[in-house]
Structure 1
Amino acid sequence: MHGVVLITFPAARKYGISFCLQTLTVLNPFHTPEVAALQDTDLAGPLVFCLAFGGFLLLSGKVHFSYIYGIGVLGCLSMWALLSLMSAQGVTIGTVVTVLGYCLLPMVGLSGVNVILSLQGYVGIVLTSVAILWCSLSASKLFVTALAMDHQQPLVLYPCALLYGVFALITIF
């Protein structure tokens, strides 16, 4: 194993690589995430993804920064209230913002595709449906794992899909 460096999660947190670990966790929604990776509340990553989302929308001729932040704040507060009622243990607003912000990554990709081609046809419907499903599946998996809510993923998946559906509508129209 010459030249291979394995980084464990405490070393990753020490060197500031938690951004990459949480991003990779979102990119693979079928993998069971580590609970330790979910307890790190990082607000820089969600801010970067919101700015990238708004930047791609700006490149496609849409100035929607206020909508992104307004819907994002309202969605995070609503999701925090819902998860506080559903989970036996408490959830912090930082965890909710971190998970919902990192799971915005497929929607950022969708807005990047919108710069190149229009999403108002059949291809756009398919790509938008995949992005909404990907975002909501990743977010619900992370919430269920972080809050130890066994067998409640469909209950968390639905409000996440509604939130990311609104972001998809902003992207399309």
Structure 2
Amino acid sequence: MRSPALEALDFGGALMFLLALGGLHLLMGKVHFGVILGWSVAQSVIVYFVANQVASNDGSLPGGLDLYNCCCVTGYGMVPLILVSAALLLVPRGPASVALSVAGAVWSAVTASKVLARISPGLQDSRSLMVYPCLLMYGSFALLGVY
């Protein structure tokens, strides 16, 4: 059963989170606005494709996931990475910053896979399978902050 909050996803908040991530990177001296927006679109399409392939694998239920919802979820999943980027402003580069980035990427991936599984009924049984493409996606954004 989907909650009413998941019925009313908006892309404006997700876009604001992406811009906030780009702003924090700008404070670190890195101009990554185009990279962040481009990667988020491309990787949202990839996660959408993988999620629909996994959800329709059993053939009993339709996927129930559209590209708009997938882009919203992956955008809102950036919140832990925003917190990590804010912390990286204070933490010097080294093992601590790498560990912080890995923790943020894992947190984002697990959160996004949970929300994707709640949106799409076909993903309920394979939520742990959806963590991998989400981890690859958020791991690439975490690497932008560290290096």
TM-score normalized with structure 2 length:
0.89
Answer whether contact 1:144 1:150 (CA < 8 A) is retained.
Answer: yes
Aligned to 2:63: 89
Residues in 2 aligned to 1:90 and 1:147: alpha-carbon distance in whole angstroms: 5
Aligned to 1:72: 40
What is the Cα-based RMSD across aligned positions, in Å? 1.5
* Deviations 1:119-159, CA, capped at 9 Å, x for gaps: x3221122112101110000000011111222211110000
- Aligned partner letter, 1:139: A
Aligned to 2:113: 140
Question: Which SS does the other structure have where 2:64 is aligned?
Answer: coil
Answer whether contact 2:64 2:119 (CA < 8 A) is retained.
Answer: no
Question: Which SS does the other structure have where 1:116 is aligned?
Answer: coil
Q: CA deviation at 1:92?
A: 1.1
Q: Please list every run of at least 4 consecutive aligned residues from structure 1 whose deviation after the TM superposition is greater than 3 angstroms.
A: none
Residues in 2 aligned to 1:142 and 1:71: alpha-carbon distance in whole angstroms: 20
* Deviations 1:4-44, CA, capped at 9 Å, x for gaps: xxxxxxxxxxxxxxxxxxxxxxxxxxxxx953222222011
Q: CA deviation at 1:79?
A: 1.0
- Aligned partner letter, 2:141: F
The answer on 1:170 being equivalent to 2:144 is yes
Which is greater in Rg? 1
Residues in 2 aligned to 1:49 and 1:162: alpha-carbon distance in whole angstroms: 19
Match of 1:129 among 81, 102, 109: 102
- Aligned partner letter, 1:172: V
The answer on 1:41 being equivalent to 2:15 is no
Q: CA deviation at 1:99?
A: 0.5
Residues in 2 aligned to 1:54 and 1:104: alpha-carbon distance in whole angstroms: 11
* Deviations 1:74-97, CA, capped at 9 Å, x for gaps: 001111111122223331111001
TM-score normalized with structure 1 length:
0.76
**Count of residue pairs brought into register by the alignment:** 140
Aligned to 1:11: none
Give structure 2 stretches of 5+ with no counterpart. Answer: 56-61
- Aligned partner letter, 2:51: L
Residues in 1 aligned to 2:132 and 2:3: alpha-carbon distance in whole angstroms: 22
Residues in 2 aligned to 1:169 and 1:66: alpha-carbon distance in whole angstroms: 15
Residues in 2 aligned to 1:69 and 1:150: alpha-carbon distance in whole angstroms: 29
